[in-house]
Chain A
Amino acid sequence: MKNILEINNVNKIYRNSVKALDNINLNIKEGEIFSLLGPNGAGKSTLINSICGVVNFNSGTIKINGFDNIKEYRKARQMTGIVPQELYLESFETVWKNVNYSRGLFGKPKNHKYVEDLLKLLSLWDKKNSKIKELSGGMKRRVLIAKALSHQPKLLFLDEPTASIDVELRKETWDIVRKLNKNGTTIFLTTHYIEEAEELSSRVAIINDGKIILVDETDKLIKKLGEKSIKIEIKDETLNFNQNIKNKYNLEVNNNMLTFKYNIKEDNINLTEMLNEIETNGYKIKDFITEQSSLEEIFIKLIKEDKKS
């Protein structure tokens, strides 16, 4: 699949000498949902604002669908739509005027049919004549998405799309993101909610202190860095559990629960052998539960490692 976004050696230093982006290199594939994860102040918003032309970056190149976003900014910017983190909207304008204004800014002639379909897709059609100040927070966020999509961009940037919103609205936003992606829009979202990245994206990147620490497929990342554990429930008490088995498999013993932790990338794990050994020593297995570390745990681990280095 071709790259719709190519970022090479991008650096950004703010006037107060804060280095917000430190030699960023990143490619985004057409049609994917990509998540950029990072703690607050890591450089997520600066990166997408640099791509979309909202802030100037100091060095490096950014190409959108092959167009340089500085030298060919007109063509490049027509490819992108940006949904800011905050609800930046003109309160006294109607939804219809707001969306059409955005379409005009991006150099597109009026297209009532397209805007109508877009508002219907985002469940805003019945609110088209309402002023922004009359809308709920969720509706305002959808208006921002409608504005960002008003000029039919190929690549949509969502900056913390579910920050400070309730669970129901978060699920609703996720459904919209999936719907837009299904309709052919490439999605690039920034988030500090791991659950969001895990739920939506096929690939993730982790950014910290302006540096990309890691880029990988979400599933692979979990497999690569994820720790798995098996909790084995024994029928009887395990006060005098066999020390040989305990030491051999480095088991944690707690009442009648044995916990075995291992990394999924290790090949020399023989679970059958361990379970057989437990049974042949007279312990009856009642139940077992497997648990896998979430992206959140991986994320915390990586950030800690990055800070140490």
Chain B
Amino acid sequence: MNYFGVKAILIHELDRFKRTLLQSLASPIITTSLYFIVFGTAIGSRIKEIDGINYGSYIVPGMIMLTILTQALSNASFAIYFQKFTSTIYEIHAAPLSSFEIILGFVGAAAIKSVIIGIIIIITAGFFVDIEIQHPILMIFFLILTSITFSLFGFIVGLYADGFEGLQIIPILVITPLTFLGGSFYSINMLPEFWQNISLLNPVLYLISGFRYSFYEVSDVSILTSIITIFTILIGCILFISYTFIKGYKIKD
């Protein structure tokens, strides 16, 4: 195992995070605050409680998930695509690093950034509403596993992207709509039965529901289904990335 190699990639990528610290931290803080002003105050004042939870508090897990999914995906996809774009990836290829070590470095860095952002959102939300975390270990489990899974997904997007536009397609056109429609700001029980059934096809619903359970012990679907879903997405990403590396597609000519 090339520990120094993995550490070099991790530090190199986290340095980029530090260089853009203001943007990296200010963005989730401002976005969270805006969500609370718009959804918590303006709309939330008309919706008193969902499943016995104050609306402002209810939307916190969904907001965290929304940010984590998009941040993990964007960070990981940008990190690997940027190296391809600037051609500095030649050095990664020439180094004595296995495919696993390369993924560990890039995905590890993106996941760490996402977890940090997730924690910042929890702290920011604490200034606006009361937050309870009934199952802290389960909450950390979901936070870390979701960050890793979507960083892996982002790594795949970055490998296959042929331009900066390609990096934006999945977060904007897939992840954001799925998160909004996955019960970030509402319970699917509030929807007509037809749309409830449609919502059950959305994998992000299971992630948000499981994460919300770790906070308030309320969920749209069972916690076990949520855990199975996150593991299924994770395994899917691992299998796909293994196939890509074995074939060498999009990595080396």
In the bound complex, do residue B91 and residue A102 qualify as a contact, i.e. CB atoms below 8 Å apart? yes
Contact flag A88-B87 (CB < 8 Å), given A54-B93, A80-B94, A105-B9 = yes
In the bound complex, do residue B88 and residue A78 qualify as a contact, i.e. CB atoms below 8 Å apart? no
> What distance in Å separates the Cβ of A89 from its nearest Cβ neighbour in chain B?
7
Which A residues are in CB contact (< 8 Å) with B248? 56
In the bound complex, do residue A53 and residue B86 qualify as a contact, i.e. CB atoms below 8 Å apart? no
Which B residues are in CB contact (< 8 Å) with A54? 90, 93-94, 252
Q: Is A174 close to B, CB under 8 A?
A: no
In the bound complex, do residue A107 and residue B2 qualify as a contact, i.e. CB atoms below 8 Å apart? yes
Among A52, A93, A100, A105, the residue within 8 A (CB) of B5 is A105
| A87-101 to B contact mask, C-beta < 8 Å, 1/0 | 011101100010011
- A82 CA to B95 CA in the complex, in Å? 10
In the bound complex, do residue B90 and residue A84 qualify as a contact, i.e. CB atoms below 8 Å apart? yes
Q: Is A282 close to B, CB under 8 A?
A: no
Q: Is B37 close to A, CB under 8 A?
A: no
| B10-24 to A contact mask, C-beta < 8 Å, 1/0 | 011001000100000
Which B residues are in CB contact (< 8 Å) with A100? 8
> What distance in Å separates the Cβ of B80 from its nearest Cβ neighbour in chain A?
14
In the bound complex, do residue B8 and residue A101 qualify as a contact, i.e. CB atoms below 8 Å apart? yes
Query: What number of B residues sit within 8 Å (CB to CB) of A?
Result: 25
Which B residues are in CB contact (< 8 Å) with A97? 12, 15
- A250 CA to B87 CA in the complex, in Å? 56
Contact flag A52-B94 (CB < 8 Å), given A74-B2, A105-B5 = yes
Which A residues are in CB contact (< 8 Å) with B87? 84, 86, 88
> What distance in Å separates the Cβ of A74 from its nearest Cβ neighbour in chain B?
4
List the B residue with the shortest CB-CB distance to A108.
B4
Q: Is A271 close to B, CB under 8 A?
A: no
- A194 CA to B248 CA in the complex, in Å? 36
Q: Is B97 close to A, CB under 8 A?
A: yes
Which B residues are in CB contact (< 8 Å) with A90? 86, 88
Q: Is B34 close to A, CB under 8 A?
A: no
In the bound complex, do residue B94 and residue A14 qualify as a contact, i.e. CB atoms below 8 Å apart? no
Q: Is B253 close to A, CB under 8 A?
A: yes
Q: Is B96 close to A, CB under 8 A?
A: yes
> What distance in Å separates the Cβ of A12 from its nearest Cβ neighbour in chain B?
9
In the bound complex, do residue A56 and residue B96 qualify as a contact, i.e. CB atoms below 8 Å apart? no
Q: Is A154 close to B, CB under 8 A?
A: no
In the bound complex, do residue B90 and residue A105 qualify as a contact, i.e. CB atoms below 8 Å apart? no
- A75 CA to B86 CA in the complex, in Å? 27
Which B residues are in CB contact (< 8 Å) with A15? 253
Closest 4 CB pairs of A and B: A104-B8, A105-B95, A74-B96, A77-B96
24 contacts between A and B (CB under 8 A): A52-B93, A53-B94, A54-B93, A55-B252, A56-B248, A74-B2, A74-B96, A76-B96, A82-B94, A84-B87, A88-B88, A88-B91, A90-B86, A101-B8, A101-B11, A102-B91, A104-B7, A104-B8, A105-B9, A105-B92, A105-B95, A107-B3, A107-B4, A109-B4
Contacts A76-B96, A77-B94, A86-B87 aside, 5 further interface pairs with beta carbons under 8 A come to A80-B94, A82-B94, A100-B8, A105-B92, A107-B96
B residues adjacent to A (C-beta < 8 A): 2-5, 7-9, 11-12, 15, 19, 86-88, 90-97, 248, 252-253
